[in-house]
């Protein structure tokens, strides 16, 4: 690690003031940041430890429905919170399928959204041609090994995916990322938080330097929701593809569906076209469900080695919907 | 009787409390931390290494490059023959002949180019990032694309060297006739990727010089090998090198031979005149240590209508470095498994700018059974014969290659008992479903050759107070030797386990060879047995008894069958000897002459395949083995279970991918390269051993088991996948994209 | 906010108070334990959060020591494998690992034991499947997984189903 100075934040105001200086970075759980420091992915000179900031680790019901989750709440605490388990099973499941029990005791929900791609070229100990490591150096994956890369929204500048599991659940839940910044805070829809590589391939999300996530807000309860993660090994592994489904039902008919796919693009991928068509569909009608899902895959574009992910993602979406439907309401 | 008892590991206490010390757990005054700077490209030439920036890092003491290094000596393989081309041949226990930091040439990605030495680890690590390398890129030889035509085209006959243990070709009988007379034939190519050992402990070395003598705390499977190779490389007498390795955090072959980093650590310590600890990073462990090379195997099996094999043909190509021809003798499986009148086998290598491969649990028959046992399954289906029956029909009553009788073989019993425990004969023949999962059943034969390392020695000291100290220069890598050796000595000397201490992992102890090739129980175990018997004989003589007629029990020695007897203390108090030193060794040449030796077994597996999501999961397994006497069924069960899980990793999960453009391993970590986790492994794994004693292989009556469990598994899994889905997968690992 | 490149760190390790001066903020909790306090029972298997060999308890919760900057542990309480048992008496999990042959080389074992002890406290012992999942943050290349599950189950005082 390149040398840096360290300070523990004690007030929100000081934190966002200090964070605005270039080359400073927030430290929450550290489970991403420390690896970036080791690999040279980030080389901040000032580290601001936000893990003990007052009031940022609470989970509270919002008046009028919904839930707010403090940004530095540990993943395990979010996933095992009674209200989250009861009202937002998709989020609880997504979290419990992420990383490992030990990592989830450190990792925070805010930090999780800020994780970077797992593209092996990007994560190499040596700097390889990679536009996310160094803009203009090219994309090694485009003509290299890309069987686990994007099928949606990629450009030839970057074909990577965003690996977060919770982000997929949050996108399907229409959650809101609440931030604070020296120039004022924002409310960012979770599904729009991450950036596709089309404009600035080096950027991962919409946050500005020094912008602090303070909370994640969940809208009204979504008990009929579920998460499905496909991976080679059974645990402690990132997804090849994942799917989050949130349903509202009238008996056996879908009234409203929200479906997001993970690890298929640089952001959680909402199947908006499919969602429209899913409304009104009978759950028992697998064919109709599949046809609806199919609509959203018109824009899927495989790379040289990952066409299989398209079929996989369709099945994952279908299974997530069926799983969500089986959840008690 | 201690032998055959499920005694708990005496090393449990230190291992569950964190008191067991591994190489990186040692300190020395004034210790320097070493961090390697490695080649970012697979081929080329270093033109400059700018170190000023690194030296500016606070706490960095020095950066060593090839210009600072002494000229390392050659290590002549023990297999080198005078007056032949082989005279100068290097070979094991040196892992490779190529020594980095001797010039500016780059031969593989990850090759050490500089060593940053810091007062702290943080300083050395930060310094390493600031070393500026300049190099000229050269067009590398890259591994051929993973398909037969390309690999076949790139393949060459391996050259003579210390790494070529056997003839690269073997023929017997008339293969062409066997092929043309066949009623059924299978011709197929089986592929497997490179795979790393990934022992949980990355290799580490602490090197310390005192008055020209070198002491090394090292993570190794062979302390004496380290001594031998380091002495040669550093041009000093072997007596000046002491190597200590009390516990090694897993080896699996990866720490079997001696790699350049061990030499570099010692050289750095000599230059600095300070102790140096070089703990490899996980990434270093991918390129500075070996791996099982990517392999392609083309196999042809021909059989008559009854299923009897009429010919076996196998061509194997494994990847190797541009410098040394490592040969992975997968054809050994075909040589030793089934009766056949004719076989034609060949081994070739494909050279590329890659790091040097090395044996990996299980070597040789591990890859060999993947191809052979898959092909046997294909043949069974073609003939409409049950896969188990096809194996029984082709059971080899004598060694297929040599015609020699077996030292012992109870494979038929292993098949039968395994099949019974699994319910193989009763398995459903129609497609089975469990929700989204298709269920399949598969089996394969397991087998490993018997590698018997020459003449390990041990010493057994019997003290007046009735305690015993075993001293032997082998090392603990977790296989169970720390339990088994005391059991053997306790058995001979009629003492409880608590009275027996064991000291291992030090070149100041009697030389006892490597801990690999599943050789320790047979070899070192036999040496401990002989040493304990020697101690008993000496005690007998002191007690005026005939050594051949005594037995010892409960701390007493007496004529066999007699009651009572004299206590050890009584006998020894007649003299002024404080302890009796028994010594023993094991010379394989004296045992089992003219006999073929192998271990055998059968693995039965049930898998689930979710064809929609491409998932493959293990549901249950039965492993049934014929491996001679089992000294400790408890540690043996763990060994076999571990082997099966290794096999599962090979079948379903593991691969170290060669990046096709950059010529590096794509990922050099444990998140980009997956190995099995707890959740992958069901509890329902049954291990069975056939009751057997093989007196020819070793006086212990046992043979090696460490690798046997990992053979056959990959094929059994692929066979089960075929059963479940009708898809024949011939390329490992069986990952989702292959199952969709 | 007061940024420093050297820190005074006070923390409690295995019941003992430590005060470390002049601490480089780059030092991880893992390296602090191993290199400064010579508590080498906690192992470094990867240094990237990918193996679990470095598992310790931080304020009673299991975490990967390689993913924590030591400075951030100011005022906290750390328990390592050396401090798990009660003096010379083994913790029930440690005993269970011996009784069920839950290790081979022993390198991953301190991490496994620390993880298992926490897992039992967390109450994740409802079924073997649950134990397997919640023990999956600890790789074991010797592959003692089935025996580890048996050990955890036994330590949790549950009878095998
Ligand atoms: C081996 C391994 C496996 C993993 N597997 C998975 C997986 O399967 N699924 C998955 O989803 N994740 C996985 N992860 C990722 C893990 O979940 C993330 O590392 C973690 O959630 C990041 O949170 P953190 O608090 O540790 O972030 P940190 O490392 O502290 O911070 C990461 C980044 O976010 C910034 N940051 C943190 N908090 C805030 C805030 N409140 N406001 C503004 N900026 C902030 C930091 O400045 C830094 O740039 C894995 C990680 C590892 C090491
Ligand atoms: S896909 Fe993106 S992250 Fe990966 S190499 Fe290309 S630019 Fe870099
Ligand atoms: S060393 Fe910390 S997880 Fe591997
Ligand atoms: S006991 Fe060796 S890695 Fe687990």
Provide, rounded to the nearest whole percent, the portion of chain C with pLDDT above 70.
98
Nearest ligand to residue A102 Cα = 3
For the residues of chain C, what is the DSSP string, one character each? ---BSSEEEEEEETTEEEEEEEE-TT-BHHHIIIIIS--TTS--S-SSSSS-TTEEEETTEEEEGGGSBGGGGTT-EEE-GGGTSBTTBPPHHHHHHHHTT--SS-SSHHHHHHHHHHHHHHT--SSHHHHHHHTTTS--TT--HHHHHHHHHHHTTPPP-
Token duo for residue A242: 């994942």
Place of tokens 């049934």: B624
C108 CB neighbours in chain B (<8 A) are: 200, 249
Residues of chain B contacting residue C98, judged by C-beta atoms under 8 Å apart: 8-9, 12-13, 16
Enumerate residues 608 to 667 of chain B having a beta carbon within 8 A of any beta carbon in chain C: 634-635, 637-639, 641-642, 645-646
DSSP state for residue A50 in the 8-state scheme: -
C-alpha span between C29 and A108 (Å, rounded) = 18
Q: What percent of chain B has pLDDT over 90?
A: 91
Chain C environment of B634 (Cβ under 8 Å) = 101
pLDDT for position B80: 61
Angle between helices C145-155 and B633-648 (to 10 degrees): 120
Is residue B260 exposed (0-12), middle (13-18) or buried (19+ Cβ within 10 Å)?
buried
Which residue, judged by its Cα, is nearest atom 4 of ligand 4? C140
Cβ contact C146–B681 (<8 Å) = yes
* Measured distance CA(B427)–CA(A303) in Å, rounded: 42
Q: Which fold has domain C7-83?
A: Ubiquitin-like (UB roll) (3.10.20)
Question: Which pLDDT tens digit goes with each residue over A222-247?
Answer: 999 999 999 999 999 999 999 999 99
Torsion of CA A287, A291, A293, A298, to 10 degrees: 150
> With an 8 Å Cβ cutoff, are B202 and C45 in contact?
yes
Q: Which of the pair, B77 or B383, is modelled with greater confidence?
A: B383
Instruction: Please say whether the beta carbons of B279 and B204 come within 8 A.
Output: yes
Q: Does the beta-carbon distance from A34 to C28 stay under 8 Å?
A: yes
B633-648 vs B713-725: helix crossing angle, rounded to 10: 50
* Contact residues, chain B, for A233 at CB < 8 Å: 653, 674, 676-677, 679-680
| Residue A157 Cα to ligand 2 middle (Å) | 7
Atom number, ligand 1, closest to the C-alpha of residue A97: 8
The per-residue DSSP string of B485-551 comes to HHHHHHHHHT--GGGEEEEESBTTSPB---S-TT-HHHHHHHHHHHHHHHHHHHHHHHTT--GGGEE
CB contact under 8 A, B122 and C31: yes
Distance CA B503, CA B497 (A): 14
Each residue's pLDDT tens digit, B473-487:
999 999 888 999 999
> Is some CB atom of chain C closer than 8 A to the CB atom of B122?
yes
pLDDT of residue B77: 78
**What is the Cα–Cα distance from A166 to A156, expressed in whole angstroms?**
27
Helix (H) or strand (E) holding B417: helix B411-422
Pocket of ligand 4 (CB under 6 A): B 200, 250, 478; C 103-109, 140-142, 144
Question: Residue B227 and residue B373: Cα distance in Å, rounded?
Answer: 40
CATH 1.10.150.120 fits C92-160, yes or no: yes
Phi and psi based region of residue A267 (left: phi greater than 0; alpha: psi -120 to 50; beta: remaining): beta
**Contact assignment for A103 to C69 by CB distance below 8 Å:** no
In the predicted structure, residue B373 carries a pLDDT above the cut 50:
yes
B145 part of contact set with chain A, CB < 8 Å: no
pLDDT band at A143 (very low <50, low <70, confident <90, very high): very high
- Residues in A closer than 8 angstroms to B680, CB to CB, are 233-235
pTM of the model: 0.97
What chain A holds in terms of domains, given with CATH numbers, is 5-52 (3.30.43), 59-114+164-218 (3.30.465.10), 225-325 (3.30.390.50)
DSSP A158: B
Is C75 in CB contact (< 8 Å) with chain A?
Answer: no
- Residue pair B327/B347 in contact (Cβ under 8 Å)? The answer is yes
Sheet (strand B685-689) strand order: B432-434, B437-449, B598-610, B615-626, B685-689
Beta strands in A78-132 (DSSP E): none
- B706 to chain C, closest Cα gap in Å: 11
Three-class DSSP category at C135: coil
Strands B309-321 and B295-303: antiparallel
Calculate how close chain C gets to B694, using CA atoms only, in Å: 26
Atom index in ligand 1 nearest the CA of residue A166 equals 11
Separation of alpha carbons B712 and A312, rounded Å = 30
User: Ligand 1: which of C28, C50, C64, C66 to mutate, most ligand atoms within 8 Å of CB?
Assistant: C50
Q: Tokens for B150, please give them.
A: 């390309």
Of C47, C101, C135, the CB nearest to B282: C47
- Segments making up each domain of chain C, as ranges: 7-83, 92-160
- What confidence category does residue C161 fall into, taking pLDDT thresholds of 50, 70 and 90? very low
Q: Which residues pair with B213 in a beta bridge?
A: B210
Q: CB distance from A103 to chain C under 8 Å?
A: yes
Q: From B345, B382, B350, B380, select the one nearest B364 (Cα to Cα).
A: B345
pLDDT at B330: 98
Of the candidates B601, B632, B630, B604, the one whose C-alpha atom is nearest the C-alpha of residue B618 is B604
Please say whether the beta carbons of C138 and B200 come within 8 A.
Answer: no
Instruction: Name the residue with tokens 């005022």.
Output: C75
Within 13 A of A110's CA, how many CA atoms are on the CB side? 31
Alpha carbon distance A234, A248 (integer Å): 30
Tell me the chain A residues in contact with residue B40 when contact means C-beta distances shorter than 8 Å. 126
What residues does ligand 2 touch, defined as CB less than 6 Å away?
A 117, 119, 121-122, 130-132, 139-141, 158-160
Average pLDDT in the B487-492 region? 94
CB C5, CB C73: distance < 8 Å: no
| Whether the predicted pLDDT of B31 surpasses 70 | yes
pLDDT tens-digit readout, B287-304: 999 999 999 999 999 999
Pairing of strands A241-250, A225-230: antiparallel
pLDDT at B150 over 90: yes
Which of A30, A1, A32, A26 lies closest to A14 in space, CA to CA?
A26
Mean pLDDT, range B560-572, rounded to an integer: 91
Closest ligand 1 atom, CA of A229? 8
Q: Inspect the interface and report whether the beta carbons of A100 and C52 lie closer than 8 Å.
A: yes
A149 in Cβ contact with A130 (< 8 Å): no
From the list B144, B252, B189, B193, the residue with the least C-alpha distance to B652 is B193
Residues of C in contact with B14 (CB under 8 A): 106
Question: What is the average pLDDT score of chain A?
Answer: 97
Residue with tokens 């009673």: C60
Mean pLDDT, to the nearest integer, of B504-528? 90
DSSP strands (E only) in B403-487 = 432-434, 437-449, 457-463, 468-472
Across the interface, do C24 and B252 touch by the CB < 8 Å criterion? no
CA distance A103 to B702: 44
Largest Cα–Cα separation, chain C: 56
**Can you tell me which atom of ligand 1 is nearest the CA of A113?**
21
Helices B260-272 and B223-233, packing angle to 10 deg: 60
Q: CA-CA distances (angstroms) from residue A299 to A146, A159, A267, A294, B189?
A: 18, 15, 15, 10, 37
Chain B: give the shortest CA distance to residue A319, in Å.
9
Question: Cβ-count burial of A206 within 10 angstroms (0-12 exposed, 13-18 middle, 19+ buried)?
Answer: middle
Catalytic member of B141, B659, B707, B731: B707
In the sheet that A253-262 helps form, which strands lie side by side, from edge to edge?
Answer: A225-230, A241-250, A253-262, A269-270
DSSP for B184-205 reads: EEEEEEEEE--B----SS--EE
Identify all chain A residues contacting B740, using CB atoms and an 8 Å cutoff. Answer: 308, 311-312
Do the beta carbons of residue B553 and residue B536 sit within 8 Å? no
Among B460, B642, B432, B485, CA closest to B539: B460
Could you read off the pLDDT of C74-117 as tens digits, one per residue?
999 999 999 998 888 999 999 999 999 999 999 999 999 999 99
Can B57 be counted among the known catalytic residues? no
Query: At B81, is the pLDDT very low, low, confident or very high (cuts 50, 70, 90)?
Result: low
Which ligand 2 atom minimizes the distance to the CA of A119?
4
Which chain B residue's Cα is nearest to A317? B613
pLDDT for res B83: 56
> What is the CB < 6 Å shell around ligand 3?
C 44-47, 49-54, 64, 66
Place of tokens 């900057």: C69
Mean pLDDT across B521-535: 92
Q: How confident is the model at residue A208 (pLDDT cuts 50, 70, 90)?
A: very high
Q: Could you tell me if B314 and B428 are in contact, meaning their C-beta atoms sit under 8 angstroms apart?
A: no
* Residue A16 scores a pLDDT above 80: yes
Domains of chain B with bracketed CATH: 23-139+200-250+255-287 (3.90.1170.50), 148-195+292-451+594-739 (3.30.365.10), 454-590 (3.30.365.10)
Give me B408's structure tokens.
């012992």
Chain B contact for A287, CB < 8 A? no
Taking 50 as the threshold, does the pLDDT of residue B422 lie above it?
Answer: yes
- The partner residue sitting opposite A49, judged by closest CB among C67, C72, C138, is C72
E strand or H helix at B231, and its extent? helix B223-233
- Which of B737, B738, B739 is best to mutate for the A interface (most A CBs within 10 A)? B737
Tell me phi and psi for residue B361, to 5 degrees.
-55, 120
Residue C159 confidence class, pLDDT cut points 50, 70, 90: very low
Neighbours of B392 (CB within 10 A): 16
- pLDDT (0 to 100) of residue B575: 76
Summarize the confidence of residues B224-229 as an average pLDDT: 96
Q: How far is it, in rounded angstroms, from Cα B145 to Cα A59?
A: 52
- Indicate the average pLDDT of chain C: 96
Nearest to C136 among A1, A3, A235 (CB): A235
What are all long-range contacts of B235-238, with beta carbons under 8 Å and residues at least 24 apart?
A: B235/B70, B235/B73, B236/B212
Residues in contact with C16: Cβ distance below 8 Å, sequence separation at least 6, in sequence order? none
Residue of C nearest to A16 (CA): C1
Give the DSSP H or E segment for B295.
strand B295-303
Closest by Cβ to B674, choosing from A40, A232, A319: A232
CA of B250 to the centre of ligand 4 (A): 7
Contact call for B680 and A237, based on CB within 8 A = no
Backbone angles phi, psi at B471, to 5 degrees: -125, 120
Give the best residue of C53, C85, C131, C143 to mutate against chain B (max B CB count within 10 A): C143
Task: Give the residue on A whose Cα is nearest the Cα of C6.
Answer: A5
Instruction: Closest CB to C31: pick one of B9, B11, B121.
Output: B121
Residues C132-148: tens digit of each pLDDT: 999 999 999 999 999 99
What ipTM, to 2 d.p.?
A: 0.97
């Amino acid at each position: 690690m390149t040398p840096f100075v360290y300070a523990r934040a004690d007030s929100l105001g000081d934190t966002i003031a200090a964070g605005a200086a270039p080359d400073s970075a927030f430290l929450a759980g550290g489970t991403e940041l420390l690896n970036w420091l080791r690999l040279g992915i980030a080389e901040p000179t000032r580290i601001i430890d936000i893990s003990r900031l007052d009031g940022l680790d609470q989970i509270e019901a919002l008046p009028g429905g919904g839930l707010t989750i403090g940004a530095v709440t540990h993943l395990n605490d979010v996933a095992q919170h009674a209200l989250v388990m009861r009202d937002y099973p998709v989020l609880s499941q997504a979290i419990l399928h992420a990383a490992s029990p030990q990592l989830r005791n450190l990792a925070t929900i805010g930090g999780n959204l800020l994780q970077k791609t797992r593209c092996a070229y990007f994560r190499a100990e040596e700097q390889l041609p990679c536009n996310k490591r160094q803009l203009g150096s090219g994309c090694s994956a485009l003509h290299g090994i890309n069987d686990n890369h994007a099928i949606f929204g990629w450009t030839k500048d970057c074909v990577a995916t965003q690996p977060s599991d919770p982000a997929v659940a949050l996108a399907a839940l229409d959650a809101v990322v609440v931030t604070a910044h020296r120039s004022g805070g924002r409310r960012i829809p979770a599904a729009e938080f991450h950036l596709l590589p089309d404009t600035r391939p080096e950027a991962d999300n919409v946050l500005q330097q020094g912008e602090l996530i303070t909370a994640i807000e969940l809208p009204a309860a979504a008990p009929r929701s579920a998460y499905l993660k496909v991976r080679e090994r059974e645990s402690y592994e990132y997804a090849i593809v994942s799917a989050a489904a949130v349903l509202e039902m009238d008996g056996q008919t879908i009234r409203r569906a929200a479906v997001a796919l993970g690890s298929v693009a640089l952001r959680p991928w909402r199947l908006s076209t499919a969602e429209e068509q899913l409304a009104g569909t009978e759950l028992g009608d697998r064919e109709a469900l599949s046809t609806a899902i199919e609509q959203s895959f018109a824009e899927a574009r495989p790379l040289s080695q990952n066409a299989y992910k398209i079929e996989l993602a369709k099945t994952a979406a279908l299974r997530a919907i069926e799983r969500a439907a089986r959840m008690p309401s | 009787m201690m032998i055959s008892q499920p005694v708990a590991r005496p090393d449990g206490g230190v291992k569950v409390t964190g008191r067991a010390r591994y190489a990186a757990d040692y300190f020395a005054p004034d210790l320097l931390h070493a961090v390697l700077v490695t080649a970012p490209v697979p081929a080329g030439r270093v033109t400059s290494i700018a170190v000023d920036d690194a030296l500016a890092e606070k706490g960095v003491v020095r950066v060593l490059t090839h210009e600072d290094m002494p000229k390392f000596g050659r290590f002549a393989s023990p297999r080198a023959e005078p007056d032949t081309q082989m005279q100068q041949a290097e070979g094991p226990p040196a892992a490779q002949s190529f020594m980095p930091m001797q010039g500016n040439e780059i031969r593989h990605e990850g090759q050490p180019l500089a060593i940053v030495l810091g007062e702290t680890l943080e300083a050395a690590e930060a310094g390493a990032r600031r070393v500026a390398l300049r190099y000229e890129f050269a067009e590398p030889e890259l591994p051929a694309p993973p398909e037969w035509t390309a690999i076949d085209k790139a393949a060459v006959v391996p050259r003579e060297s210390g790494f070529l243990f056997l003839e690269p070709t073997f023929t017997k009988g008339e293969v062409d006739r066997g092929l043309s007379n066949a009623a059924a034939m299978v011709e197929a190519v089986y592929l497997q990727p490179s795979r790393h050992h990934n022992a949980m402990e990355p290799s580490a070395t602490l090197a310390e010089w005192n008055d020209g003598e070198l002491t090394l705390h090292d993570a190794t499977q062979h302390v004496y090998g380290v001594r031998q190779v380091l002495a040669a490389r550093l041009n000093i007498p072997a007596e000046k090198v002491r190597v200590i390795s009390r516990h090694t955090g897993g080896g699996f072959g990866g720490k079997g031979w001696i790699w350049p980093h061990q030499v570099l650590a010692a050289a750095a310590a000599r230059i600095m005149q300070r102790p140096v600890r070089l703990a490899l990073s996980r990434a270093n462990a991918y390129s500075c240590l070996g791996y099982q090379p990517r392999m392609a195997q083309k196999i042809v099996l021909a059989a008559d209508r009854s299923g009897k094999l009429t010919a076996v043909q196998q061509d194997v190509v494994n990847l190797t470095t541009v410098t040394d021809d490592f040969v992975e003798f997968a054809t050994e499986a075909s040589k030793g498994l089934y009766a056949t009148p004719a076989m034609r086998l060949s081994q070739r290598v494909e050279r590329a700018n890659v790091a040097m491969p090395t044996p990996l649990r299980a070597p040789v028959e591990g890859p060999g059974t993947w191809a052979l046992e898959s092909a046997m399954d294909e043949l069974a289906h073609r003939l409409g014969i049950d896969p188990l029956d096809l194996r029984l029909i082709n059971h080899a009553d004598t060694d297929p290659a040599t015609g020699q009788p077996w030292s012992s073989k109870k494979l038929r019993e292993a098949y039968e008992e395994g099949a019974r425990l699994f319910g193989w004969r009763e398995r459903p023949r129609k497609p089975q479903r469990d929700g989204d999962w298709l269920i399949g059943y598969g089996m394969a034969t397991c087998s490993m050759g018997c590698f018997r390392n020459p003449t390990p020695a041990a010493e057994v000291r019997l003290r007046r107070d009735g305690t015993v100290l075993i001293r032997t220069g082998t090392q603990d890598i977790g296989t169970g030797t720390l339990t088994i050796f005391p059991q053997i000595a306790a058995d001979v000397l009629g003492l409880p386990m608590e009275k027996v201490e064991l000291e291992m992992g030090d070149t100041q102890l009697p030389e006892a060879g490597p801990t690999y090739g599943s050789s320790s129980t047979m070899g070192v175990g036999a040496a401990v047995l002989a040493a304990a018997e020697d101690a008993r004989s000496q005690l007998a003589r002191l007690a005026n008894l005939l050594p051949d007629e005594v037995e010892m029990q409960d701390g007493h020695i007496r004529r066999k069958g007699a009651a009572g007897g004299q206590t050890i203390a009584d006998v020894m108090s007649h003299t002024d000897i404080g302890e009796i030193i028994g010594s023993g060794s094991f010379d394989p040449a004296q045992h089992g002459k003219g006999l073929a030796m192998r271990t055998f077994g059968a693995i039965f597996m049930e898998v689930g395949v979710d064809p929609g999501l491409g998932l493959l999961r293990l549901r249950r397994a039965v492993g049934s083995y014929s491996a001679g006497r089992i000294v400790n069924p408890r540690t043996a069960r763990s060994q076999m279970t571990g082997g099966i899980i290794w096999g599962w990793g090979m079948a379903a999960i593991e691969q170290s991918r060669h990046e096709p453009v950059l010529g590096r391993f794509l990922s050099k970590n444990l998140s980009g390269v997956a190995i099995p986790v707890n959740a992958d492994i069901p509890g329902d794994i049954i291990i069975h051993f056939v009751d057997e004693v093989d007196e020819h292989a070793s006086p212990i009556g046992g043979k090696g088991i460490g690798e046997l469990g990992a053979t056959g598994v990959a094929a059994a899994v692929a066979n089960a996948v075929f059963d479940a889905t009708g898809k024949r997968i011939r390329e490992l690992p069986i990952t989702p994209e292959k199952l969709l | 906010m007061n940024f420093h490149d050297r820190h005074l760190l006070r923390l409690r390790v295995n019941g003992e108070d430590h005060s470390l001066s002049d601490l480089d903020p780059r030092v991880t909790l893992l390296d602090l334990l191993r290199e400064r306090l010579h508590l080498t029972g906690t192992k470094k298997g990867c240094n990237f959060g990918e193996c679990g060999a470095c598992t310790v308890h931080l304020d009673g919760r299991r975490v990967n020591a390689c993913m924590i900057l030591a400075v951030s542990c100011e005022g906290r309480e750390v328990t390592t494998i050396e401090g798990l048992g009660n003096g010379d008496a083994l913790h029930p999990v440690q005993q269970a690992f011996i009784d069920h042959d839950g290790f081979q080389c022993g390198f991953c074992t301190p991490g496994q034991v620390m993880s298992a002890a926490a897992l039992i406290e967390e109450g994740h012992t409802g079924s073997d499947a649950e134990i397997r999942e919640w023990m999956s943050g600890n790789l074991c290349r010797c592959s003692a997984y089935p025996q580890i599950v048996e050990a955890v189950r036994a330590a949790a005082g549950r009878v095998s189903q």
